[in-house]
Structure formats: structure tokens, C-alpha cells
């Protein structure tokens, strides 16, 4: 009996200790969460805008000392840990001309972010090259890469509590993947397009692009060109970094996203190796600071009217049919009701004005030569084909952005 009483007492003591420990941990967790909620609530109580709305969740509460210790190891100091943190995501990988230069561009973006008194943290996501995988089973990975990109960006941004996002995509599925993530997160965000490739040329072929390489195989089968000429085309079609030069999916989505308002003016038409692309990267930091100050978020920009602007530009430039599935997916990310009927409605009243590859003869750098995407948008605005009151990442409306732009000359 005595032994039974002792065992019972020991069990009760252990139970009490367990309950005490559980209560203490719960109290500690409750206190920490309460502290975090209080900090986030203060965003809406102060008169001045608080730019580190999200990162302060981990940089300010005493309960997040371990988070702060980790951040100190990355180079933050007590005087800089409360600065707004911006995630800089490049879809960089070496095995594709569309993406191989994006890590370099992310360096310039980070420089611009730091010059704007913000903290920039670079990270990467994956990509698949349609141009390389086309004609093989590798294409089965292409479309799903869009959603992997979106999920991975959202995961890093959410887990790290970054206040804003600057994404640098280059290839076809990259752009919608980045925009889907931006829409879900709904934190200040900017897309910096990696830029178009220059046209290729060779001794016998003055203007080449990736489709020239595709077509060369069929031409050789029908003896329209020799094997030597086919090799000449293949070896010179892609002269350097940048996305496929015609109005294929990458340039289609880049121009559509500029019309949507989610990238800076000229982002979609500036070639990858143009010095202006480097300047754009640096300007993204200033633009991000303005977005944080004004608390302008993707859902403020990506409205139904903005999507109508994007669709109109796709129709005018003869863009890729992939724009249909990508724009609808992007719209769903921001709870905008966009359907095939919207594409048909806009298509019925919108003329095709551009003669761009693959069905035409010109490439993206030709658009830049004649004033860039803003010049095309100015022409559309002057002819009442797009909505001018839509907000953009400059903090201004599309009409305000276009006020100093000369419309593209019809030729």
C-alpha cells in the first residue's frame, strides 16, 4: 500500500510538472504572439507610414531575439535592422540565354535598393527553357514551372517576412509565375524584365532569331537550304543574353505586364544588353521606396481595367496565345474575374497593328527603336483603346506615365 501511494504521488508530481511546463510555454507563446500583433497593429495607428510593416515582425520584438541574431550574421546592425527589407528574386540559371544574365541584373537591383535606404536580400527560383526543351519530353515540365516559381517566391517572401518584392524573370513561364506570387502576397512589388535578345545575323542571313533555327530543319529537309546554311543559321540565331526576340511568350507577357502597370516604363522593350536595362534595375529601388511609402500593393494595380489594358496590347502586337492562360491565372491570384469572353470582347474591337515575328518580319528591339512599349501605349491611349486611370508601380497612373511620351509613328 505504501509503495502504491508513493507511485501515485510520483505520478501526480510528474503530471503537475508537465502541466506547469505546458502552461509556461503556452504563456510565453501567447505573450510573444501578442507582442507581434501589437507591433503589426501599430502600422495602422501611427501617422507616419511604417515601411517595415512585415519585417518588423521579426526585427523588433524581444521574443524574436534568435531571428535578430540570424539577421546580424547576414550583415545587419542595430542601426539598420529596422530598415525595410526587400526580397530580390532572380529566375537565374546559366543554361538559357533568357536567364543567364539575371544574376548580374540582380546585383544592380540590389545596388538601387540600398541607395534607396532599404535592405535588399537576393534569392533565386527555378526555370525551364521552352526553346531548349521544345520537341522533347522536357516540355512537360514547362507549364508547371510557372507554379513552382510562384510557390517558391511566395514561400521565401512569407517565411522571411520581406516587406516588398522585386522579381527579375527572363523566360516564358517566369513572368506569370512572378506575378502570381505578387498577387497572392499582395506586398509592394515590381517586375524587372530581363530583356529581349538582339537579332542574330550571319554572312548569308541578315536577320535571325530562334524561330529561324526551328524552321531551318524543315527547310533543309525540303532542300531549300544546304546543311552548311542550316548550321550557319543555328550557330548565329542567338547572339547573346535575352529572351527570344519576336513576339513570343516572353516578350508577349513582358509587354502585357508593363501595360498592366507592374513594371517600370520601357522595361519590356529594352534589350537585355542595353545600358538602359542596368539603369532600370537601379531605378527599381527608388520605385520600391515610393510603393512602400504609399502602401501601393499589387491588388491596387492589377484591377479588371488593368487586365483589359494588358489584353488590348497583346492583341495590337499580335502576341502569343499563351497570354490567355497566363493572364487568367494571374487574374485569379488577385481575385479578378477574367474569362475567355473578355479576350473575345476585346479582340473583336482591337486591330492588329504590328508586323512582328513569328508571323511578321520585325523583332522586339525594333519596337524599342521606334519609341518602345510606352510609345505603343501612348498611341493606344490617344485613340481611346486603353484605360488611362489605372495605377502603376511608378505611383502614377498610366496616363501620367505617358504624358511625356511621343506616340509611335504609324509606318
| Residue in 269, 264, 291, 268 with CA at minimum distance from that of residue 280 | 264
Q: What percent of the chain has pLDDT over 70?
A: 88
* CA–CA separation, 124 and 113 (whole Å): 17
Q: Is residue 265 part of a domain?
A: yes
Domain that holds residue 302: 84-198+240-402
Read off the pLDDT of each residue in 297-324 and give the average, rounded to a whole number.
99
Q: Is residue 56 part of a domain?
A: no
Domain boundary among 10, 34, 51: 51
Q: Is residue 185 part of a domain?
A: yes
Q: Are 21 and 117 part of one and the same domain? A: no
pLDDT of residue 12: 64
* CA–CA separation, 180 and 149 (whole Å): 9
pLDDT of residue 204: 95
Read off the pLDDT of each residue in 64-73 and give the average, rounded to a whole number.
98
Q: Are 271 and 379 part of one and the same domain? A: yes
Q: Are 47 and 131 part of one and the same domain? A: no
Q: Are 154 and 268 part of one and the same domain? A: yes
Indicate if the pLDDT at residue 35 is higher than 50.
no
What's the CA angle centered on 25, arms 20 and 26, to 5 degrees? 95
The CATH number of whichever domain residue 121 belongs to comes to 3.40.50.2300
Asked if 301 contacts 263 with a C-beta cutoff of 8 angstroms, the reply is no
Per-residue confidence at 42, pLDDT binned at 50, 70, 90? low
Chain-centroid distance of CA 195 in Å reads 13
Q: Are 35 and 178 part of one and the same domain? A: no
Q: Are 325 and 397 part of one and the same domain? A: yes
pLDDT in tens, 203-246: 999 999 999 999 999 999 999 999 999 999 999 999 999 999 99
- Count other C-beta atoms under 10 Å from residue 38's C-beta: 12
pLDDT in tens, 117-138: 999 999 999 999 999 999 999 9
pLDDT of residue 41: 46
- Count other C-beta atoms under 10 Å from residue 75's C-beta: 9
Q: Are strands 119-124 and 85-90 parallel, antiparallel or unpaired?
A: parallel
Chain-centroid distance of CA 91 in Å reads 9
Q: Is residue 188 part of a domain?
A: yes
Indicate if the pLDDT at residue 24 is higher than 90.
no
Q: Are 6 and 112 part of one and the same domain? A: no
Q: Are 88 and 163 part of one and the same domain? A: yes
Terminal-to-terminal C-alpha distance of the chain:
105
Per-residue confidence at 5, pLDDT binned at 50, 70, 90? low
Q: Are 40 and 111 part of one and the same domain? A: no
Q: Is residue 233 part of a domain?
A: no
Domain count, the chain: 2
Q: What is the 3-state secondary structure (H, E, C) of the chain?
A: CHHHHHHHHHHHHHHHHHHHHHHHHHHHHHHHHHHHHHHHHHCCCCCCCCCCCCCHHHHCCHHHHHHHHHHHHCCCCCCCCCCCEEEEEECCCCCCCCCCCHHHHHHHHHHHHHHCCCEEEEEECCCCCHHHHCCCHHHHHHHHHHHHHHHHHHHHHHHHCCCEEEEECCCCCHHHHHHHHHHHHCCCEEECCCCECCCECCCCCCCECHHHHHHHHHHHHCCCCCHHHHHHHHHHCCCCCCECCCCCHHHHHHHHHHHHCCCCCCCCCCECCCHHHHHHHHHHHHHHHHHHHHCCCHHHHCCHHHHHHHHHHHHHHCCCCHHHHHHHHHHHHCCCCCCHHHHHHHHHHCCCCCCECCCCCECHHHHHHCCHHHHHHHHHHHCCCCCCCCECCCCCEHHHHHCCCCCCCCC
pLDDT of residue 32: 47
Indicate if the pLDDT at residue 180 is higher than 80.
yes
Chain-centroid distance of CA 380 in Å reads 25
Q: Are 129 and 7 part of one and the same domain? A: no
pLDDT of residue 248: 97
* C-alpha dihedral, 237 to 325 to 261 to 49, nearest 10°: -120
Mean pLDDT over each residue of the chain, to the nearest integer = 93
104: Cβ–Cβ under 8 A, 6 or more apart, which residues? none
Asked if 393 contacts 262 with a C-beta cutoff of 8 angstroms, the reply is yes
Indicate if the pLDDT at residue 1 is higher than 90.
no
Indicate if the pLDDT at residue 25 is higher than 60.
no
pLDDT in tens, 380-408: 999 999 999 999 999 999 999 999 999 88
Q: Are 396 and 344 part of one and the same domain? A: yes
pLDDT in tens, 80-126: 999 999 999 999 999 999 999 999 999 999 999 999 999 999 999 99
Q: Is residue 353 part of a domain?
A: yes
- Count other C-beta atoms under 10 Å from residue 365's C-beta: 20
pLDDT of residue 301: 99
Q: Are 350 and 395 part of one and the same domain? A: yes
Amino acid at each position: 500500500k505504501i509503495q502504491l501511494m508513493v507511485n501515485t504521488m510520483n505520478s501526480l508530481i510528474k503530471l503537475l510538472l508537465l502541466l506547469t511546463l505546458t502552461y509556461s510555454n503556452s504563456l510565453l507563446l501567447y505573450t510573444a504572439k501578442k507582442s507581434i500583433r501589437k507591433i503589426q497593429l501599430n502600422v495602422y495607428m501611427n501617422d507616419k507610414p511604417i515601411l517595415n510593416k512585415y519585417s518588423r515582425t521579426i526585427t523588433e520584438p524581444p521574443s524574436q531575439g534568435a531571428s535578430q541574431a540570424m539577421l546580424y550574421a547576414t550583415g545587419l546592425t542595430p542601426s539598420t535592422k529596422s530598415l525595410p527589407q526587400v526580397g530580390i528574386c532572380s529566375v537565374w540559371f546559366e543554361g538559357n540565354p533568357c536567364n543567364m544574365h539575371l544574376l548580374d541584373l540582380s546585383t544592380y537591383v540590389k545596388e538601387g535598393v540600398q541607395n534607396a535606404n532599404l535592405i535588399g536580400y537576393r534569392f533565386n527560383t527555378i526555370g525551364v527553357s521552352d526553346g531548349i526543351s521544345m520537341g522533347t519530353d522536357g516540355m512537360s515540365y514547362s507549364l508547371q514551372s510557372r507554379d513552382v516559381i510562384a510557390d517558391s517566391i511566395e514561400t521565401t517572401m512569407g517565411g522571411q517576412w520581406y516587406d516588398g518584392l522585386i522579381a527579375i524573370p527572363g523566360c516564358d513561364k517566369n513572368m506569370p509565375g512572378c506575378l502570381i506570387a505578387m498577387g497572392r502576397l499582395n506586398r509592394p512589388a515590381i517586375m524587372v524584365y530581363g530583356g529581349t535578345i538582339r537579332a542574330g545575323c550571319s554572312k548569308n542571313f541578315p536577320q535571325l532569331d530562334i524561330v529561324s533555327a526551328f524552321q531551318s530543319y524543315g527547310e533543309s529537309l525540303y532542300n531549300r537550304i544546304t546543311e552548311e546554311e542550316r548550321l550557319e543559321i543555328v550557330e548565329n540565331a542567338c547572339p547573346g543574353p535575352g529572351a527570344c526576340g519576336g513576339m513570343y511568350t516572353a516578350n508577349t507577357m513582358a509587354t502585357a505586364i508593363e501595360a498592366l502597370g507592374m513594371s517600370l516604363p520601357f522595361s519590356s522593350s529594352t534589350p537585355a544588353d542595353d545600358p538602359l536595362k542596368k539603369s532600370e534595375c537601379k531605378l527599381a529601388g527608388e520605385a520600391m521606396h515610393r510603393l512602400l511609402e504609399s502602401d501601393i500593393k499589387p491588388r491596387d494595380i492589377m484591377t479588371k481595367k488593368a487586365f483589359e489594358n494588358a489584353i488590348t496590347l497583346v492583341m495590337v502586337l499580335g502576341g502569343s496565345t499563351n497570354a490567355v492562360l497566363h493572364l487568367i491565372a494571374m487574374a485569379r491570384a488577385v481575385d479578378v474575374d477574367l474569362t475567355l469572353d473578355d479576350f473575345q470582347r476585346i479582340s473583336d474591337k482591337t486591330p492588329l497593328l504590328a508586323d512582328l515575328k513569328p508571323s511578321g518580319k520585325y523583332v522586339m528591339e525594333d519596337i524599342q527603336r521606334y519609341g518602345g512599349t510606352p510609345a505603343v501605349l501612348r498611341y493606344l491611349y490617344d485613340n481611346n483603346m486603353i484605360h488611362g486611370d489605372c495605377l502603376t508601380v511608378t505611383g502614377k497612373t498610366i496616363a501620367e506615365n505617358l504624358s511625356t511620351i511621343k506616340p509611335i509613328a504609324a509606318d
